[in-house]
Structure 1
């Protein structure tokens, strides 16, 4: 009697793996450049910049932020709320998608951002007799580029879903800020179609009730895992 075929396994990926790999590459390059300088210069530089240049350190910070978001999503997966994929490769590009969560109400494209102790605000101007203009500010700086980037990632996911016959599934963009201060009012935690959240409140966004049962969610997750393979 033949053994039954093994059930398909979902390649969930490793959160922050790509960012940590890039950090290690840049750190090695910084260390090599540092080795050519004087002993005193190396000592001072290592003291003030232990991770190398600020741009190198940013990759380490980003990886840690992605890992925090992955932990929050794992809790939801364990509770049966859906399926999470991490660090997905965008075909034909050098960029990646930090996280995908397939929940009952659709697929959530989650871009993790770590801004320690920064205020996240949404400014709205205009209205009444003209269109309303929304501006995302993080630590006082205009950051609408973050909004535009996660919307572009949603376009990639929609294309992947359509190719797999899941073009009826909603795709929702989310910016998840780690160690930042988000607006208190719920209506202020959105910029257009983009949700703003922190790891602790992520479940309120991605685990919303919907029509996708567990079998459909798993099928969607498998299709996305194939179309957008993990970076590892």
Structure 2
């Protein structure tokens, strides 16, 4: 029997946002007693809480674009839980040419960039930089997700992608890769996933295998 692989993008992030918001409001009410309702109304949301809502919106935007590609030859899954972990995978797309593991980040301002250090005396190191900050840990996170998928699907090609929503990529955007992970924007992501490739896998079989291994979050 086929596994139900449908899940709305951003579901778990939105759920976490609502949980944190409720906890924040409960603490405020407990602190202010009879004035708790007023204190909640006048208080700004904590940035760490608001980030979950922003992340959910970013996942929903990318998920909607990917859903537009879904067909018999392209299977799209959202918000899949990694077994024995609290982590989840934002999007998984199964195409005839392989499996795409996509992590969505909603960053504003200038688009991220690649920086290469070393290479002559020191070992060559590739970094992901956003607004002057080292964000290479995001690449490492995708690589861990890719490893989980490769363990599940064996010899099937698996590709890792970081998709940045709302970043300013300029008039002539150029995608790049950091340590093998593609860094792109939503429109480019859709083009990469849907491009014509020589079929190498049975999409239905692999999608079923993934859906069983990575349940809905």
Kindly indicate whether the alpha-carbon contact (under 8 Å) linking 2:176 and 2:184 is maintained by their aligned counterparts in 1. Answer: yes
Aligned counterpart for 1:145 among listed residues 137, 142, 145: 137
Residue 191 of structure 2 corresponds to 204
Residues 52-91 of structure 1 aligned to structure 2 (within 5 Å): 52-78=45-71, 82-91=74-83
Normalising to structure 2: TM-score of the pair? 0.88
- SS at 2:68 equivalent: helix
Q: Pairwise mapping of residues 1-232 of structure 1 onto structure 2 (< 5 A)?
A: 8=2, 10-38=4-32, 43=38, 46-47=41-42, 49=44, 52-78=45-71, 82-127=74-119, 131-161=123-153, 167-182=154-169, 184=172, 186=174, 189-212=176-199, 216-231=202-217
Contact 2:149 2:158 in 1 (8 A): yes
SS in 2 for 1:11: coil
Q: Distance in 1 between matches of 2:163 and 2:60?
A: 12
Aligned partners of 1:139, 1:17: CA distance in 2, in Å?
28
Following superposition, the deviation at residue 135 of structure 1 comes to: 1.1
Q: 1:196 to 1:37 in 2, by over 3 A?
A: same
1:169 deviates by 1.1
For the residue of structure 1 that corresponds to 2:65, the secondary structure is helix
Contact preservation (8 Å) 1:135, 1:191: yes
Is the 8 Å Cα contact of residues 72 and 202 (structure 1) preserved in structure 2?
no
C-alpha deviations, 1:127-176, integer Å up to 9, x for none? 36664321101222100000000000011111111xxxxx2211110001
Distance 2:39 2:187 in 1: 39
Match of 1:3 in 2: none
What is the alpha-carbon root mean square deviation over aligned residues? 2.4
Query: Post-superposition shift, 1:46?
Result: 4.1
Asked whether the equivalents of residues 110 and 175 of structure 1 are also in contact (C-alpha less than 8 Å), the reply is yes
TM-score (norm 1): 0.83
Q: Structure 2 vs 1, CA of residues 69 and 125 (structure 1 numbering), >3 Å: closer, same or farther? A: same
Q: Give CA deviations for 1:170-217 in whole Å, capped at 9, x if unaligned.
A: 11100010101347463x52112100111111122222332337x811
